[in-house]
Amino acid sequence: LPDLPVIAHEGVLGALNDPVVASDRSGVILFLNATAERLLGWATAEIVGKPLTTIIPPRLRPAHEAGFRRFLSTGQSRIMGRPTRVPALARDGSEIDVELTLSELQTGGSGPLIIAILRDLRDRIELERQIDAQRKILAQYATAAVLAGAQDATDAIPEILGRVAVALGWAAGVYWSVDTASGRLRPFATWSSGSDVATRFLEESRASSFGDGEGSPGEVLATGLAIGSGQLERDRRYRPPLGSRAALRSAFLSPVSSPRRTWGVLEFVSEREEEADDELRQTMTVLSYQIGRFFERLEREEQLRRASGEAEAARYNLEQLFHEAPAAIAVIRGPEMRYELSNAANQELAAGRNLVGMTVREGLPELEADGVMAMVGRVYQTGEPFFAREYPVTRPATANRPAQRIFMNGVTQPLRGPGGTIEGVMLFAYEVTDLVASRERVKEAEERLRLAVESARLGTWDYDPNSGVVLCDARYRRLFGLGAEAQLTTRMLAEAIHPEDRARATEAVQRSFDPASGGEYTIEYRTRGIEDRKERWVAMRGRTFFDDRGKPVRFVGTGTDVTDERRALDRLQFLTEASRILASKLTYRETLSQVAQLAILRLADWCAIELVDDGEAPELVALAHVDPARVAAARDLRAHHPEFWQAAAAARVLATGQPQLVEMSDSPEFEVLRPFGLGSVMLLPLVARGRTIGVLTLVQADSGRTFTPEDLGFADELSRRMSSAIENARLYDQAKRAIGVRDQFLSIASHELRTPLTTLTLQLSSFARSFAEGTFHTLTPERLESRVGRMEQQVVRLNGLVDELLDVSRISAGRLAIDRRPSDLVQLVREVIERLGDEASRAGSRIALRAPAALVGLWDPNRLDQVITNLIGNALKYAGGTPVDVEVATREQTAVVIVRDRGPGIADADQERIFEQFERAAPSSMAGLGLGLWIARRLVEAHQGRISVESSPGAGASFVVELPLQPPE
């Protein structure tokens, strides 16, 4: 069977969403689908025939070639069937990160194909980068959130260490605080992920302290600059003593300072390699600054508490408080709103302008637009304090800083005089711009992540193993066939997983929940839609997070619908399997039944294959239904509604040869199929040698699914393969029949040759016996003459047979020579009749001739003699003693010879056949090679004439020979 190599797979490979490159085992590219063309920038026509190395960067080619050779010789491959992240080389020389999946596809005759699927990873890498960026923002946000609410460093700092480490994925963190008495760095707070290395690191750290310039923390303290190290085991600079260094990969240390002083050093370590890039440095700088400001605030609060405790120094302390407070404080008096007090923080807010003595309008005209003056006026008039929360105001520009929009929290409250009258207002406010900004950034990052997730068609889930609560988005719900609003429990999810995949999925989750696994979770499985009952293939990728005791606390990830990709692969396998079955035998009825069975497993609820033989009613050669119990019902349906098959699309397909996809609900003619459920029907022509010879019907009914145009394309491919198998089988049948006919001819020929030889052998052996016994002389001359005469007759017979065979071989080889000369047809016919006189009288038939005196044309008289002899000889043979009429006449420029007998006649079906080689109408017991009429036809045709027969059974036969008088120009 001429097997469908790449060309035939193109339809399916082409339909894959992922880029696909196919090559043969010699590494020559045979095919590139449209997605791959776009990815690599190559057009199929340009790249087909080039080596696979064309799409591999030069530096990777030796490794590729070695691997390919190893695969060819041993069948082993490190990457075959294992998705691998590699760069691919595009036509413009750029490299594209892809996930390469290699597989070998057995195609039957033309040898296996190597199928390379190159999943474009650029989007995923971008997504990972964004997630990484988001983690950093989360760390800042977490820090800001903790600090905003914290009153106490001993609670806040470990909390910050933990949140930052978790957000950034670090193993442990230490905050080294500067001891005010000694000036040395001592561990103030620590946090660890709970791993052995992290725990050991913290034990070692708790026992340590560093002076100015000692070890890495001391260096940071001395220089005020952050240090990042990505390769700790080789970094001699990194602080001693540290036994856990060997197991740690990276460290980052950052100074914690505020404008007034340095408070300590933050240190984080990781078991992974972390690049200390600009982003990380920036993140840590912001964190450290926030923490520094926090310490400053704590200190001022401490001072405030102390000051308020000492009534004596109240005034002084109040002023201190005013001036040193981290919050901006101002006192404004009188209806004209003149500044009486403005502390340092407030001065800073006013871009350094000295506000005391000025009105608000003079000092900070920028605040007019922010509504601050109106707000202050209201408090002054109503006495109602105003609480500001993330209140936007404009900070005026300075020489080295542009004007800026900032956010403040605080309170504006009335100041009352001794009589209770309002004399002024006090403003207390602190800046929360960082908090707002980081929250905005988180929101932005979340939005970006959401967009990335959506554009990647990913659904997301977030599962809390402690509460059992699953949070997930609409896309994730859809993976389980649920609407966006539906409630979801883990139990529902587990039940929606296909029973065959359930154990595997459970195992994968359990593995992910085991801290030893690192929490990784990657799996593909089938789901059965909870609401829509649809079957899907989904790919899940996720991760479990653990607390420091190794208990899973969060299980998050993404899922995507890979049904189409899976289906395309399934179909490729299906086509391959179908082709294998179709090629397995040359009796197509059996293989068609097997393919129909295969089709209902993969493609449709039922499958029918009908064949039509030359205008006869369609014959059902295969019928399969997903429910074997309904096959009989489907068969009955067809039997009881013949009009349906006549009128329905099946007939149209037969007539037009066009595939059809029909939605039953749209087509009343399919009403009779209602008992099987309404769905859609695909009808595809089976075509052999340009003729529609049958119809492949695929019905989607019971399952409630419908076919898509894509399905139609796929089924079309299937029907082509079936057609090709049927055509091959039919050709084989024809060839077999031709061989059978030839064998039969050889057996007849040998029988016919042996018959005269038998008489000859008997006679000759008898003579030999007479010689041997010495009785030969007793034979009389009359007896001798009669016996030799008999022998001569047999030799003539043999000669005739041999001539006939020679004619056959001449005609078959195209070497039949026609020697045209003026010949009288009437004369010729008379001679034949005379020669056959003896035979006619033996048969008891009289031959009557009706002819003009002469009829001359340009013919080969010997060949025409042969034709006429054959026709009259046949007529005598079949006449059975009745007369034979011969007529010679002219019709325009044509001579006509008619030989009519009154024998049994010839059935309609046989009238064409008798002029074929090795055929004859009579039973095989009739003597002769059966070649006479075929030779006669070829001889007449060589004269540009024609020979035909008119007959009906019981009414004799008339053979008519028409010969042009002149050979046509």
Partner 1 sequence: MSRSVLVVDDDQAIRETLCELLADDGYRAVGAANGREALELLRSGERPSIILLDLMMPVMDGFAFRTAQLADPALRAIPVAVITAMGQPSAASIDVDVVLSKPLRIEKVIELVERFCPPGG
Angle made by CA atoms 90, 92, 96, in degrees to the nearest 5: 35
Q: What is the largest CA-CA distance in the chain?
A: 182
Min dist. Cβ of residue 844 to partner 1 (A): 14
What is the separation of C-alpha 593 from the centre of its chain, rounded to a whole number of angstroms? Answer: 27
The strand order across the sheet containing 552-561 reads 469-472, 459-464, 552-561, 535-546, 520-528
User: How far apart, in whole angstroms, are the C-alpha atoms of residue 605 and residue 56?
Assistant: 44
Among the listed ranges 262-270, 400-408, 610-618, 760-768, the one in contact with partner 1 (CB under 8 A) is 760-768
Q: Are strands 262-270 and 185-192 parallel, antiparallel or unpaired?
A: unpaired
Q: Decide: is 784 part of the binding site for partner 1 (CB under 8 A).
A: no
- In whole angstroms, how close is the CB of 927 to partner 1 at the nearest point? 7
Quote the least distance from Cβ 925 to partner 1, whole Å.
5
Q: Shortest distance, CB of residue 880 to partner 1, whole angstroms?
A: 11
Residue 38, SS3 per DSSP: helix
Contact string (CB under 8 A) for partner 1, positions 689-708, x = contact: --------------------
Choose between 259 and 923: whose C-beta lies nearer to partner 1.
Answer: 923
d(CA 245, CA 257): 27
Q: Which of 98, 341, 760, 884 binds partner 1 (CB under 8 A)?
A: 760
Query: Would you say 456 or 922 has its CB closer to partner 1?
Result: 922
Determine which residue in the list 305, 443, 450, 790 makes contact with partner 1, applying CB under 8 A. 790
Stretch touching partner 1 by CB under 8 A, among 146-154, 369-377, 584-592, 762-770: 762-770
Is 744 a residue that touches partner 1 (CB under 8 A)?
no
CB of 762 to partner 1, least distance (A): 5
Q: How far is the CB of 802 from partner 1 (least distance, A)?
A: 16
Contact 405, 397 (CB under 8 A): no
Is 911 near partner 1 (CB under 8 A)? Answer: no
One-character DSSP codes across 715-737: HHHHHHHHHHHHHHHHHHHHHHH
Q: Which stretch binds partner 1 (CB under 8 A): 108-116, 194-202, 244-252, 753-761?
A: 753-761
- Total site size for partner 1, rule CB under 8 A: 25
Q: What angle do CA 118, 557, 546 make, to 5 degrees?
A: 125
Which residues have CB under 8 Å from 208's CB, separation 6+?
A: 187, 215, 239, 241
Provide the mask over 25-44, with x wherever binding to partner 1 is found by CB under 8 A and - wherever it is not.
--------------------
Residue of 466, 766, 809, 841 that binds partner 1 (CB under 8 A): 766
Q: Are 525 and 497 in contact (CB under 8 A)?
A: yes
Task: Give the span between the Cα atoms of 611 and 654, in whole angstroms.
Answer: 10
Least distance (Å) from partner 1 to the CB of residue 743? 11
Segment interacting with partner 1 (CB under 8 A) among 442-450, 662-670, 747-755, 929-937: 747-755
Using the CB atoms, write b or e for 592-605: b if 16+ within 10 Å: bbbbbebbbebbbb
DSSP three-state, residue 336: coil
Segment interacting with partner 1, rule: CB under 8 A, options 764-772, 864-872, 891-899, 905-913: 764-772
- Nearest to partner 1 of 708, 799 (CB atom): 799
From residue 251, give the alpha-carbon distance in Å to each of 54, 143, 206, 335: 42, 19, 17, 59
Strands (E), 292-365: 328-333, 338-342
Nearer to partner 1, 382 or 765 (CB): 765
Q: Does 755 participate in binding partner 1 (rule CB under 8 A)?
A: yes
Q: Which residues contact 668 (CB under 8 A, 6 or more apart)?
A: none
Query: Mask: binding to partner 1, 914-943, rule CB under 8 A, as x and -?
Result: ---------xxxxx----------------
Measured from the CB atom, the residue of 25 and 754 that comes closer to partner 1 is 754
Judged by phi (left if over 0) then psi (alpha if -120 to 50, else beta), residue 587 lies in beta
Name the minimum Å distance from CB 785 to partner 1.
13
Among 284, 324, 319, 287, which residue's Cα sits nearest to residue 302? 324
Amino acid identity for residue 957 in this structure: A
- Is 282 among the residues that bind partner 1 (CB under 8 A)? no
Pick from 38, 533, 769, 846 the residue near partner 1 by CB under 8 A.
769
- As measured in angstroms, the least distance from the Cβ of 877 to partner 1 is 10
Shortest distance (Å) from residue 754 CB to partner 1: 4
Residues that bind partner 1 in the complex, under the rule CB under 8 A: 747, 750-751, 754-763, 765-766, 769, 787, 790, 793-794, 923-927
